[in-house]
Amino acid sequence: MPGNNKVADAIETNVDSLIAAWVECVQKNVPASKDKSPLVLINHLKDFFHTLIKALRDQDFKLQNVANFKLSEDHGKQRAGLTDYSINQVIQEYHLLRTTIFDFLDERAPVGRRERNIINEFIDDFIRTASATFSDELRKRLTDALKMRDDFISTISHELKTPLTSMKLQTQISKRNIVKRLQGAAPVEGIIRFIDQKEKGINRLNHLVEDMLDSSRINSGKLRLEKEDFVLSDAVQEVLAEMAPYLAECRSTIHTDVPEGVHLYCDKFRFEQILINLLSNAAKYGAGGSIELVAHLKKDEIVIEVQDHGRGIHKKDQERIFQRFERVNSPGERNGLGLGLYIVRQLTNMLGGRIWLKSKVGKGSNFILQLPLQS
């Protein structure tokens, strides 16, 4: 039954001061907390104090009757998601909380044995649950990371083996044809065709390697932008000229509507990389149909849409495809590393813009890129 309790009253009146004192103490003593904002560190602390105050006022208090589990479990999960936290640092935060509370109360309200036991039981219970949850969450994240690594190794092995096998076969055939040519039995056109096919394989391997390097640079913060002024329509034409062989190979036709004379100030190479990835994606999944690339001004921004008329993407997958190593393929199908759209979104963010998708299954996909004119 609830009753009056001077310790509970003192804590309730000074919750914000207690939290501020704890944050200051934690940021001085827990290395992983130094670069975290107070809001991130506080997390569920106010709920902790609210529950503790109720327990102190309950004359029939029993720890097993208090709903601590969810609070401490959520705290353990939250800390597991923060960079550099270890289980020892999570436990240290609770011990610092204990010290902060008792130091505060020693100056303001006499703490009896009962109140001291309740506070200690509370914090010990939080330590047990939060640290166990922290460990479980890290174990789960490690398992997920290992699975992602294994999937990536499997995918990259497949993606690299296909062009390498093809190049090996073409090299063997080219060697035989060169011998025949020297003997006057093989047409030059055939040899050139084989060399062209081999060059395609090399370009594909180079593209895979560049995607992996860009992904690594983005994650490590080492990708740098080189800004310059350029004309939008000129950049689009350069991209289309570069993409022409691939679009023809995919039997895709492209229709453009891009305003003339619009200038952008951003990294031209990365901007073109975004367009190339979007057009490649549209050609790959556009079922050999038409692709529309349209752009229009919106105040001080340019909006570019790349629309295909392929199989479309289910709503539940539309955000997932922008994540690293994510692909939306048909059963048994393997295409790419799942880095293209991830790189597109990261580069778009770096250029100060945003990108999103509108798609319906069976109706095609429309990727919408919005960028400031002055990045």
- What does the pLDDT look like over 88-108, one tens digit per residue? 999 999 999 999 999 999 888
The pair of three-digit structure tokens given for residue 187, joined into one six-digit string = 């047409």
Most confident option among 27-31, 56-60, 145-149, 313-317: 27-31
For position 159, what pLDDT does the model report? 65
Instruction: Choose among 244, 310, 232: nearest CA to 272.
Output: 232
For the chain, which residues make up each domain, given as ranges? 6-145, 159-220, 227-372
Ramachandran angles phi, psi of 287, nearest 5°: 55, 35
> Given this model, what pLDDT does residue 12 score?
92
Cα separations in angstroms, 288 against 2, 291, 329, 335, 349: 73, 9, 17, 16, 30
Task: Tell me how far apart the alpha carbons of residues 110 and 119 are, in angstroms, rounded to a whole number.
Answer: 14
Residue 149 has pLDDT above 50, yes or no: yes
Q: Average pLDDT, whole number, for the chain?
A: 83
Task: Give strand pairing partners of 302.
Answer: 297, 371
Report yes or no: 236 and 255 within 8 Å, Cβ to Cβ. Answer: no
End-to-end CA distance of the chain: 62
Cβ contact 205:160 at 8 Å: yes
CA-nearest of 57, 74, 43 to 12 is 57
What pLDDT shows up at residue 47? Answer: 87
Average pLDDT value for residue range 327-334: 53
208-247 pLDDT, tens digit each: 677 777 777 787 788 889 999 999 999 999 999 888 888 8
Q: How far is CA 177 from the centre of its chain?
A: 49
Q: Which residues pair with 292 in a beta bridge?
A: 255, 307
pLDDT beyond 60 at 75:
yes
**DSSP helix/strand/coil, 96:** helix
The answer, yes or no, to whether residue 318 has pLDDT greater than 50, is yes
Task: Please report the pLDDT score of residue 83 as a whole number.
Answer: 72
Question: What pLDDT is attached to residue 107?
Answer: 83
pLDDT, mean of residues 272-295:
91
Cα dihedral 116→119→125→130 (10° resolution): -140
Residue 182 neighbours by CB under 8 Å, 6+ apart: none
Q: Does 276 score more than 80 pLDDT?
A: yes
Mean pLDDT of 47-55: 88
- Output the pLDDT for position 197: 66
Predicted local confidence at residue 240, as pLDDT:
93
CATH level 2 (architecture), domain 6-145: Orthogonal Bundle (1.10)
CA distances from 265 to 187, 188, 275, 372 (A): 50, 47, 16, 9
Whole-number percent of the chain with pLDDT over 90: 40
The CATH H-level superfamily of 227-372 is: Histidine kinase-like ATPase, C-terminal domain (3.30.565.10)
Q: What is the average pLDDT across 12-36? A: 91
User: What are the pLDDT digits (tens) for 172-182?
Assistant: 676 676 666 66
By CB atoms closer than 10 A (0-12, 13-18, 19+), residue 49 is: buried
> Whose CA is closest to 269, among 219, 228, 217, 221?
228
- The CA distance from 314 to 312, in Å, is 7
Question: pTM, whole model, 2 decimals?
Answer: 0.54
Higher pLDDT, 87 or 192: 87
Helix axes 340-350, 188-220, angle to 10 degrees: 50
Q: What is the pLDDT of residues 348-372, one digit of tens each?
A: 999 999 999 999 998 999 999 999 9
Supply the pLDDT for residue 191: 61
> What is the distance between the alpha carbons of residues 162 and 204, in angstroms, rounded to a whole number?
10
Asked whether the predicted pLDDT for residue 192 surpasses 80, the reply is no
Per the CB < 8 A criterion, the answer to whether 10 and 109 are in contact is: yes
